[in-house]
């Protein structure tokens, strides 16, 4: 009962924070007031996730539980990044999704127990989830950047766009997310090859291949940024392409294995 109650309270706090952020965009003095409910929600969701995931017989990482965990990590990253960048506007979309994901996970629709006591395998799983959350946040950032870039080029920089950081700062933040995400994804793939004996087994081969494709796309993008200064629409297209492959690898695989097979 407690995970459901905590998740419901977290969802309410997330939605309140999203509403306050929307109402107070551009008001620098009130932005911390708007983020306070989300901070409380993150703590409540952490308690619920701890009870949902860590079970006596192993780790419960079903489809909705994994989604809630990734959304929770993204919410934390938004809160931390808001300390030095004005990106709390991402919370208008992300926070309600995180609250809804936590609430659905608490209803135990899809418990999927991973019975392993191997710390290396558990570390591989957690690094993978952190990588997916960072790259997902990068995709949100890329979408916002695309909207901002198009509005400026069409000479419509008013409204919501006025409250976003300059394009340069948005791009710097995007590549920070992607850089850390790429490092975590590299560690995930490396530990997978070392510690998972069946990484190319029939039920995992598509996940492995799609993850490697996403990793290659991210690597090319980061190299292009470093070597050729790629930015703007080029960076956006490559980011969303990598995100698409990685989400297919993670959530697509879980959807097929847990609900369709």
Tens of pLDDT, residue by residue over 24-39, are 876 767 788 999 999 9
CA distance 21 to 1: 30
Judgement on whether residues 95 and 139 belong to the same structural domain of the protein: no
Do 36 and 153 lie in one domain? The reply is no
Reply yes or no on whether the pLDDT at 202 is more than 60: no
**From residue 177, how far is each of 135, 138, 219 by CA, in Å?**
7, 6, 13
Q: Which of 60, 81, 115 is the C-terminal boundary of a domain?
A: 115
Determine what percent of the chain falls in helix, strand and coil, rounding each to the nearest 5. Answer: 80, 5, 20
pTM here?
A: 0.83
- CA dist 121 and 203 (Å) reads 17
- What confidence category does residue 160 fall into, taking pLDDT thresholds of 50, 70 and 90? low
pLDDT digits (tens, 9 = 90+) for 212-234: 999 999 999 999 999 999 988 89
Full domain range(s) for residue 169: 135-261
- Do residue 75 and residue 147 come from a single domain? no
Strands 58-60 and 113-114: antiparallel
Count the domains in the chain: 2
- Quickly list H helices, 111-166: 119-153
Rg of the chain (C-alpha set): 19
Residue 104 sits in the same domain as residue 145? no
Q: What is the pLDDT of residue 112?
A: 66
Looking at 84, 115, 146, the residue that finishes a domain is 115
At residue 100, the 3 state secondary structure works out as helix
- What is the pLDDT at residue 135? 93
Residues 88 and 196 in one domain: no
> How many CB atoms neighbour CB 85 within 10 A?
15
Distance (Å, whole) CA 101 – CA 52: 13
């Amino acid at each position: 009962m407690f995970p459901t109650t905590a998740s419901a309270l977290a969802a309410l706090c997330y939605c309140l924070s999203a509403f306050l952020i929307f109402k107070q965009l551009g008001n620098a003095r009130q932005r911390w007031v708007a983020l306070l409910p989300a901070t409380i929600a993150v703590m409540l969701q952490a308690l619920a996730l701890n009870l949902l995931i860590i079970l006596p017989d192993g780790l419960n990482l079903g489809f909705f539980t994994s989604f809630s965990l990734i959304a929770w990590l993204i919410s934390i990253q938004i809160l931390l990044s808001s300390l030095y960048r004005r990106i709390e506007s991402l919370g208008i979309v992300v926070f309600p999704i995180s609250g809804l994901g936590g609430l659905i996970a608490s209803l135990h629709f899809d418990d999927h127990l991973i019975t392993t006591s191997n710390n290396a395998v558990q570390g591989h799983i957690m690094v993978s989830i952190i990588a997916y959350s960072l790259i997902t946040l990068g995709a949100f950032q890329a979408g916002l950047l695309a909207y901002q870039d198009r509005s400026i080029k069409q000479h419509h920089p008013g409204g919501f766009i006025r409250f976003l950081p300059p394009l340069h700062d948005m791009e710097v933040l995007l590549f920070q997310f992607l850089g850390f995400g790429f490092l975590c994804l590299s560690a995930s793939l490396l530990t997978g090859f070392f510690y998972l004996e069946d990484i190319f087994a029939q039920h995992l081969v598509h996940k492995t291949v799609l993850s490697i494709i996403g990793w290659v796309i991210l690597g090319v993008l980061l190299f292009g940024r470093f070597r050729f200064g790629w930015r703007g629409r080029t960076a956006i297209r490559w980011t969303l392409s990598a995100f698409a492959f990685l989400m297919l690898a993670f959530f697509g695989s879980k959807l097929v294995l847990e609900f369709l097979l």
